Amino acid sequence: MVRLITHNLLACHAKNCNTNNFPLQLKDVQVEQREAEFNPDFLRGFMPRIEWKALVEAAKQVGDTSLPLEQPEMLDDEFLKQLHHVLLEIHIDEGALVCPNCGHVYPIMNGIPNMLLAENEIG
């Protein structure tokens, strides 16, 4: 849990933290790989929502360098399989997500990130 697809969709949402609040940095993460079913249609449909650079960077941090630096235009099966693996099969079970802007630490426990904000961080 906390797969890279989710990491790619989460930003820091503390009060007044509006710039440079994505992607959240991975800190002290424990990673595990678990197989998931391959669905090329889903991947094609989801591609436009992905922040590519953030995904490549996060994959690199957890030791996967299979993705090209630029988002390819041709989505062949080999590429989709790599994307599938990176998005859905890498799980961060422990560690933390840290905002690069305000430094808020969102801890991950048993695969569930705690994204709650403190009283002074809500608008």
Partner 1 sequence: MLDQYLFIFAQAHEDFRIPELRSIAELHQFPIKIPEDIDVKRPFAVLGLEKEEHARILARRCILVKHVYEFYASATSYEELHEKNRALHARWDKYAADTSFKFFVAGFNQSIPQRRQKDVVESFSYMDFQGKIDMKNPELIMGCFEEYYDKQGTMRHKHEGDGNFREVFFGRLIEDGSARSLVQKFDVKKRAYYGNTSMEAEISLLMVNQTLASPGKVVYDPFIGTGSMAYTTAHFGAFVFGSDIDGRQMRGKENQPGIMRAAAQYGVAERILDLGTFDVTHHPWRCGGFLDAIITDPPYGVRAGAKRLGRRETPRSLRRPISAPSTPRPDDQPYIPPMKLYELSALATDLVLLARYLLRPGGRLVFFLPTVTDEYQEVDIQTMTCEGMELVANSLQDFGVWGRRLVTIRKTTSQDYPPPAFDTAAAPSDDVDGAHVPAHRHFRQKYFQKFRSPTEGDEEGSQRSLSEAIEQVAEDNNLP
Residue 100 CA to residue 97 CA, distance in Å, equals 9
45 vs 100, beta carbon nearer partner 1: 45
Which tokens hold the place of 105?
């630490």
Beta carbon of residue 11, minimum distance to partner 1 (angstroms, whole number) = 4
Contact between 27 and partner 1 per CB under 8 A: no
Contact between 28 and partner 1 per CB under 8 A: no
Residues 84-123 that bind partner 1 (CB under 8 A): 88, 107, 110-120, 122
Q: Which positions ≥6 away from 58 have C-beta within 8 Å?
A: 4, 7, 8, 23, 26
Q: Which residue's entry shows tokens 């808020």?
A: 104
Contact between 55 and partner 1 per CB under 8 A: no
Q: How many residues bind partner 1 (CB under 8 A)?
A: 37
Angle formed at CA 89 by CA 92 and CA 81, multiple of 5 degrees? 145
Residue among 16, 26, 35, 53 that touches partner 1 (CB under 8 A): 35
Contact between 81 and partner 1 per CB under 8 A: no
- Asked if residues 81 and 34 have their Cβ atoms less than 8 Å apart, the reply is no
- Asked if residues 111 and 1 have their Cβ atoms less than 8 Å apart, the reply is yes
Q: Which residues make up the interface to partner 1 (CB under 8 A)?
A: 1-3, 5-6, 8-13, 22, 34-37, 39, 41-42, 45-46, 49, 51, 88, 107, 110-120, 122
